[in-house]
Amino acid sequence: MNKAIKALNVIGICGSLRQDSYSRMALSIALQGAAERDVGTRIIDLNDYDLVFADGRDTPYPAGVQRLREHVKAADGIIIATPEYHSGMSGVLKNAIDLMGFDQFGGKMVGLVGVSGGAMGAVNALNSLRAVGRSLHAWVIPHQVSIPQAWRVFNQHGQLEDQELQERLLEVGRQVARFSFLHTSQEVKEFLEMWEEAPPNPGG
């Protein structure tokens, strides 16, 4: 495997503060898909940063906010998982994103996962996240996963009973890792430049 991909780092941002949340379970599986492509993975637990409300203050935010910004900025790819609350993403996730900006998300590959306790799934939350990603100039991959009635599909060990759903979550991670590599690989950039500069093929 190309050594360049080993330097990549894909993080997962969990939009739930509960350690046993279905969002975290789904995110862990998606990150396994990224790890298949030999990238570093890590879950960003928002509990670890002592975040304050994003209030547009002129004075500097506390150290926890700065650490979150640094950790997300250092990532090559991002997977965001959220529960759907009242047809939207979780408040703690929206606040965390509002504490960041283009420096953290701009130009990054982003994958989306949503869970819901109800039968309708988390499509509305994912649509909102997709719009937020665009506004932050991120590349949000088309493939996403919405899990309705999450309490039905996960067992007590955080494992999925539905193998098709498991594969879809893994594919989110794989695609974030794959496109992050293509987006950052110097070899790919050089190949595309050579392709653009190549003379036309008279027999083509």
Q: How confident is the model at residue 201 (pLDDT cuts 50, 70, 90)?
A: low
Structure confidence at residue 4 (pLDDT):
40
Q: Output b/e per residue, 122-146; b: 16+ Cβ within 10 A.
A: bebbbbbbbebbeebebbbbeebbb
Identify the three-state secondary structure at position 65: helix
Helices 22-35 and 163-184, axial angle in degrees (round to 10): 50
Q: Yes or no: say if 109 and 179 are a contact pair by the CB < 8 Å rule.
A: yes
* Res 84 pLDDT > 80: yes
Q: What average pLDDT is seen over the chain?
A: 90
With respect to CATH, is domain 3-197 assigned 3.40.50.360?
yes
Average pLDDT of the segment spanning 151-173: 93
Q: How far is CA 169 from CA 81, 82, 141, 191, in A?
A: 11, 13, 13, 31
Which of the two residues, 52 and 202, has the higher pLDDT score? 52
Query: What are the backbone dihedrals phi and psi of residue 2, each rounded to the nearest 5 degrees, phi first?
Result: -60, 130
Structure confidence at residue 59 (pLDDT):
85
Query: How many CB atoms lie under 10 A from the CB of residue 156?
Result: 6
* Res 5 pLDDT > 50: no
Structure confidence at residue 1 (pLDDT):
41
* Res 178 pLDDT > 60: yes
Q: How confident is the model at residue 73 (pLDDT cuts 50, 70, 90)?
A: very high
Average pLDDT of the segment spanning 185-197: 61
- What is the residue extent of each domain of the chain? 3-197
Nearest to 110 by CA among 73, 142, 148, 64: 142
Q: What pTM, to 2 d.p., does this model score?
A: 0.88
Structure confidence at residue 188 (pLDDT):
59
Q: Which residue has the tokens 């408040």?
A: 91
Structure confidence at residue 56 (pLDDT):
86
Q: How confident is the model at residue 158 (pLDDT cuts 50, 70, 90)?
A: confident
Measure the CA dihedral 127/132/138/142, to 10°: 0
Q: How confident is the model at residue 182 (pLDDT cuts 50, 70, 90)?
A: confident
Q: How confident is the model at residue 7 (pLDDT cuts 50, 70, 90)?
A: confident
- DSSP structure class, residue 14: E
**Which tens digits make up the pLDDT trace of 96-147?**
999 999 999 999 999 999 999 999 999 999 999 999 999 999 999 999 999 9
Instruction: Say what percent of the chain tops pLDDT 90.
Output: 78
Q: Which two tokens stand for residue 71?
A: 């950790």
Identify the three-state secondary structure at position 204: coil
Q: Yes or no: say if 95 and 54 are a contact pair by the CB < 8 Å rule.
A: yes
Q: Yes or no: say if 76 and 124 are a contact pair by the CB < 8 Å rule.
A: no
Nearest to 184 by CA among 80, 96, 77: 77
